[in-house]
Chain A
Amino acid sequence: MKILILGAGAIGGYVGGRLHQTGADVTFLVRPARRQAIERDGLVIKSTKGDVTQKVKTVLTGSDGGPYDIVLLTPKAYDLDSAIEAIAPAVGPDTTVVPLLNGMRHLDVLDARFGKDRVVGGLARVGVAMSGDGTIHHTSPFAAISFGERGGKAPRAALKELDAAVKKSGVDGGLNGNIEQDLWDKWIMLCSLAATNCLMRGSSGDILEAEEGEAIVLETIDECRSVAAAAGHDPGETGMKTIRGFLTVKGSRFTASMLHDLEKGNMVEADHIVGDMIARAKKAGISTPNLRMAYVNLQVYLARRARKG
């Protein structure tokens, strides 16, 4: 099985690096500067699970080195279009595209471009970042990816093989029989976290210091839950308990990466994480006053960012 990974950034670099390290046939599709750095320094991973520097295969265009059985992509949602253009030459009739993105809207875009049969669901849970010199720093105690067929179909051979490779690599997770529920569960958590942290400009713990902070957080989670339920993916009480637990720890410094990005003046996945949740709520006739407020805040941020001030 041949795997192509778009980019060798934080998540793609970490997961691809671990797969390569344990014998999988992995190629990274990268830009010339990144290729040069990797050829010079190797792919460098510093990790809570052990450091490794290794030579890896790179290509500059998707048409090189294929055909690929699996194309794994982990772009930010606002870079999805250019990611699609980059991988398109690598996607053949038997290729499976595995996107590891937050939210859901990218799946429609990928389906439209490559056909629904080629696209599966997937997500990553890895605390990882890339520093300026290209080193991949994995800092969380966990590193997991999850992927699977949508619509509850039996997994195709390529996904079973990818599952075997992942299990061998020491990355947790793997094939998931209910990936859509997993995607929704993560989206509910992430959307609630990002919406409240950005709207209030504070960590979850800071928000709980406001008189109505906890109530607002819980309402926001409920708004997202209603949208998930309308899509047929209610997380259930157990799932909800986990999400609520994450977001309502007094004194917690738990902060959405979207807020960190926002305070650095970076681009944020506002439309993908919050805007699309609202769009789905509207379609289902669900009222989401808290998300609406948060989305205005995020749109104001983007407007100010665009005019730089």
Chain B
Amino acid sequence: MKILILGAGAVGGYWGARLHQAGIDVTFLLREKRAEAVRKNGLVVKSAKSGDAVLPVKVVTKATEGGPYDVIVLACKGYDLGSAMDSIAPAVGANTTIVPMLNGHIHFATLDAKFGAEKIAGGLARISGMLGPNGEILHSGASGVSFGERDGKPARQSLVDLDAACKKAGIDGGLNANINQDLWDKWLMLGSIAGMCSAMRGTIGDIMASDDGEAIMSEILDECRKVATAEGYPPSDKAFAGVKGALTQKGAKTVASILGDIEKGGAVEGRQIVGDMLARARKHGIAAPNLRFAYAHLQTYEARRERGGLK
């Protein structure tokens, strides 16, 4: 099995590095500059969990090189999906499976339209990390992935192979027979934490310390749960209680990564994570006042970012 990974960021880079270390045939599709650096210095990974490594990974700068690929992993940000699709398009053949690891759901419609739904698996990452100043992958905490068939049918061979590769590489998770539920469970959590940490500009602990912070967090969780339920993927009581416990924990320093992006003035997945949840709430006639505030906050941020400041 040949795997192509688009980009070498925190998620794709870490996952690909671990697969490479386990002897799996992995190729990274990178931009010229990044490709040059990785060819010269190797892919540098620093991880408390799996140790530090400098890996001589395979690199291409065009998707026409090195193929054909059985699996293409797409771990880009939602706002880069358009250019990501253009990059991988030449590598997508008749037997290629694309495994997108994006947040939310809105990317599926775009990918399905471009490549055909049968080529697109469901997928998500639970890998925490970031890129260091020299492109090194700084991994911390979780290292799990989850992927599977979206129509619930038995997994195709390439996903079974990918699952085996993950297990060999010591990556948690793997093939998931109910990937849609997992996607919704993660989105419910992310929509709530990203919505609140951005709108309130603080950690879970900061929000919990305010008069109505816990009430508002509980409300937005309920809004997302109602949307997930209306879409056919209600979280189990246990899963929901787990998320709610984490998101209403007093003193927690937990913070959504979107807040870091906002405070750096970066691009954010506001539409993908919060806006689309709100749109689905509306479609189902679910009142979602807190999602509405959060999305207005994120859209205001975008407007201000576009014009470059307050002045």
**Interface, chain A (partner B; CB < 8 A):** 199-203, 205-207, 209-213, 216, 253, 255, 259-260, 263, 289-290, 292-293, 295-297, 299-301, 303-304
A interface footprint on B270-294 (CB within 8 Å = 1, 0 otherwise): 0000000000000000000110110
Do B311 and A300 have beta carbons less than 8 Å apart? Answer: no
The CA-CA distance from A212 to B302 in the complex, in Å, is 14
Interface size on B, residues (CB 8 A): 29
Give the total number of A-B pairs whose CB atoms are below 8 A apart: 97
- Among B216, B295, B298, B303, the residue within 8 A (CB) of A292 is B216
The CA-CA distance from A206 to B297 in the complex, in Å, is 10
**Interface, chain B (partner A; CB < 8 A):** 199-202, 206-207, 209-213, 216, 289-290, 292-293, 295-304, 307, 310-311
Do A292 and B296 have beta carbons less than 8 Å apart? Answer: no
Do A303 and B311 have beta carbons less than 8 Å apart? Answer: no
- Among A209, A263, A303, the residue within 8 A (CB) of B209 is A303
* Between-chain CB contacts (< 8 Å), 12 pairs: A199-B293, A200-B296, A200-B300, A202-B303, A203-B310, A213-B299, A263-B310, A293-B216, A297-B200, A299-B209, A300-B213, A303-B202
Specify the chain B residue showing the minimal Cβ separation from A301: B201
The CA-CA distance from A297 to B300 in the complex, in Å, is 15
| Known A210-B295, A211-B296; contact A299-B301, beta-carbon cutoff 8 A | no
Specify the chain B residue showing the minimal Cβ separation from A302: B210
B290 contacts across to A, CB distance below 8 A: 293
A216 contacts across to B, CB distance below 8 A: 292-293, 296
Main secondary structure of the interface of A (DSSP, over half): helix
The CA-CA distance from A201 to B293 in the complex, in Å, is 12
Do B216 and A296 have beta carbons less than 8 Å apart? Answer: yes
A205 contacts across to B, CB distance below 8 A: 303
Do A296 and B304 have beta carbons less than 8 Å apart? Answer: no
Q: What distance in Å separates the Cβ of A138 from its nearest Cβ neighbour in chain B?
A: 20
Do B216 and A206 have beta carbons less than 8 Å apart? Answer: no
Specify the chain A residue showing the minimal Cβ separation from B306: A209
The CA-CA distance from A259 to B304 in the complex, in Å, is 13
The CA-CA distance from A217 to B30 in the complex, in Å, is 45
Q: What distance in Å separates the Cβ of B176 from its nearest Cβ neighbour in chain A?
A: 34
Do B300 and A202 have beta carbons less than 8 Å apart? Answer: yes
The CA-CA distance from A131 to B186 in the complex, in Å, is 50
Do B310 and A209 have beta carbons less than 8 Å apart? Answer: no
Q: What distance in Å separates the Cβ of B260 from its nearest Cβ neighbour in chain A?
A: 12
B202 contacts across to A, CB distance below 8 A: 300-301, 303-304
B213 contacts across to A, CB distance below 8 A: 296, 299-300
Q: Which of A213, A263, A300 has the most CB of B within 10 A?
A: A300
A263 contacts across to B, CB distance below 8 A: 310
| Known A297-B201, A300-B210; contact A212-B296, beta-carbon cutoff 8 A | yes
Do B212 and A295 have beta carbons less than 8 Å apart? Answer: yes
